[in-house]
Amino acid sequence: MLGNINAVANLAVKDLAVARRFYEDTLGLTQVGAQGEEAIVYRSGSTVVNVYRSAFAGTNQATAVTWSVGGDIGRIVDALKAKGVRFEHYDMPDTTLEGDLHVMGDMKVAWFKDPDGNILNLIND
């Protein structure tokens, strides 16, 4: 029923101005819509990401958005680090850490947080 329909990521934030700087200036997303002072809609590939004001911002302790970046993962990690993004390091079974990349066989993953603590990641999938 929903298998052919794009899904939308929703990210709760406390301060839309701070979020706007991060998602536009740091991550390079383009705003395609807004709902007054309560939400900003960004294009990400063929999908969108809704960033909205919420009292519950920063309470999710799991990955909220994943970008599949293929073989560019190392270059993108370096570019984000140059913009001040700090990558998270997790102790996970059967995983080695190579710089900021968690390596599990052929899969490479890098996790980072937005200013409200939403967990975002890149994967070479």
**pLDDT band at residue 86 under the 50/70/90 scheme:** very high
CATH number of the structural domain spanning residue 20? 3.10.180.10
Residue 2 located in a structural domain: no
Q: Which domain holds residue 19?
A: 9-123
pLDDT at position 78 is: 97
Residues in CB range of 39: below 8 A, 6 or more apart: 16, 50, 51, 52, 53
Using CA atoms, how far apart are residues 118 and 120, in angstroms rounded to an integer?
A: 6
Per-residue pLDDT at 9 exceeds 90 = yes
What is the per-residue pLDDT across 104-118, written as a single tens digit (0 to 9) for each?
999 999 999 999 999
* Count of structural domains within the chain: 1
Q: What is the DSSP letter of 56?
A: T
Residues in CB range of 62: below 8 A, 6 or more apart: 119
Using CA atoms, how far apart are residues 19 and 29, in angstroms rounded to an integer?
A: 11
Residue 4 located in a structural domain: no
Nearest C-alpha neighbor of 39 from the set 63, 20, 25: 20
Residue 116 located in a structural domain: yes
Residue 77 located in a structural domain: yes
pLDDT at position 4 is: 84
pTM: 0.92
**pLDDT band at residue 125 under the 50/70/90 scheme:** confident
The gap between the terminal CA atoms of the chain, to the nearest Å, is 25
Average pLDDT over residues 35-63: 94
Task: Please report the sign of the dihedral spanned by the C-alpha atoms of residue 77, residue 80, residue 84, residue 90.
Answer: negative
Alpha-carbon 20 to chain mean position? 13
